[in-house]
Amino acid sequence: MVLILALAIVAIVLGIIGAVANGWFFLLVIAIILFVADMAYAGIRWYQGSGQHPTR
């Protein structure tokens, strides 16, 4: 969970830098790709982890 949060924060920071800095549009693109990949990874982990709890 910490990895997902850290990657999301890095993606947001890169996106802000890429949007504000002149000529650094590629950082914005990298941030968007990183954020989408991070959300996909989080969704896969959440989906796979939801059905593995034993009943009591």
Q: Are 26 and 18 in contact (CB under 8 A)?
A: yes
Give the pLDDT confidence of 1-56 residue by residue, as tens digits.
788 888 888 888 888 888 888 888 888 888 889 889 988 988 888 877 666 666 66
Residue 28 CA to residue 35 CA, distance in Å, equals: 10
Per-residue model confidence (pLDDT) at position 56: 66
C-alpha atoms less than 13 angstroms from C-alpha of 13 in its C-beta half-sphere: 6
C-alpha atoms less than 13 angstroms from C-alpha of 1 in its C-beta half-sphere: 2
Taking the complete model, does pTM exceed 0.75, yes or no?
Answer: no
